[in-house]
Amino acid sequence: MNEAFRCKAVIYDCDGVLFNSLEANCSFYEAVFNHMGVSLDRSDEDVMRIIHTYANRDVLKYFFPETDRWEKSLRFAGTINYLNLIHLMEMESGLLEILEYLKGKLHLAICTNRSSSMDAVLEGFNLTDYFSYVMTAAKASFPKPHPDPLLRILAHYGIKAEEALFVGDSVVDSLAAAAAGVPFVAYRAELQGIARIDAHEEILALL
């Protein structure tokens, strides 16, 4: 690892940070909602916030709180092949270049509330080799905003919280970072943290 950098790891959220996945996520949940006989209201800001930031199980529990309907929605969601939605995602500008520059110089990790689709997404965009650790909601005891996913990443690398940066775009991300003690960098969002960046290359000034 390159000792010129003060931090030893950069941890990225996925949706809204690595990718613009708005359309893909909406299409996924529209399919589930339609199966459940309800409509997804894209004009409702709270609905959009929930489906784009929380773990799949928690999203469906929120909208279908009755146990039988929740389990039905989960079963149907499990039948959706996310590979069919990857073409609706768009990699953020400048991401590939900064990952190429940072690879081998410090640890690169992902901390996402996606459950089972993260590997397929990375493979679809040929990004698998850039990240040495991928923490999903399925691997954590509790998803973000609980600090558990970030704490597991720190433990994996054997580093202290202050030796990492977490780049996220939602309140869920900022709360998880604060609870884990990891310095938070807001990506194109007005959130509490050590800095806000609007382009991926701006992370270099914080390392």
Q: Where are the beta strands (DSSP E) in 27-145?
A: 90-91, 107-111, 133-135
Q: Are 24 and 86 in contact (CB under 8 A)?
A: yes
Tokens read off for 83: 């590979």
Provide the pLDDT confidence category of residue 1 given band limits of 50, 70 and 90: very low
Q: Give the three-class secondary structure for 10.
A: strand
pLDDT at 10 over 80: yes
pLDDT at 166 over 90: yes
Q: Are 107 and 132 in contact (CB under 8 A)?
A: yes
List all residues 6 or more positions away from 149 whose beta carbon is below 8 Å from its beta carbon.
111, 135, 136, 137, 139, 140, 142, 143, 176
Q: How far apart are CA 16 and CA 37, in angstroms?
A: 28
Provide the pLDDT confidence category of residue 6 given band limits of 50, 70 and 90: confident
Query: 128-139 in b/e burial notation, b at 16+ Cβ within 10 A?
Result: eebbebbbbbee
pTM summary value? 0.89
pLDDT, mean of residues 157-186? 97
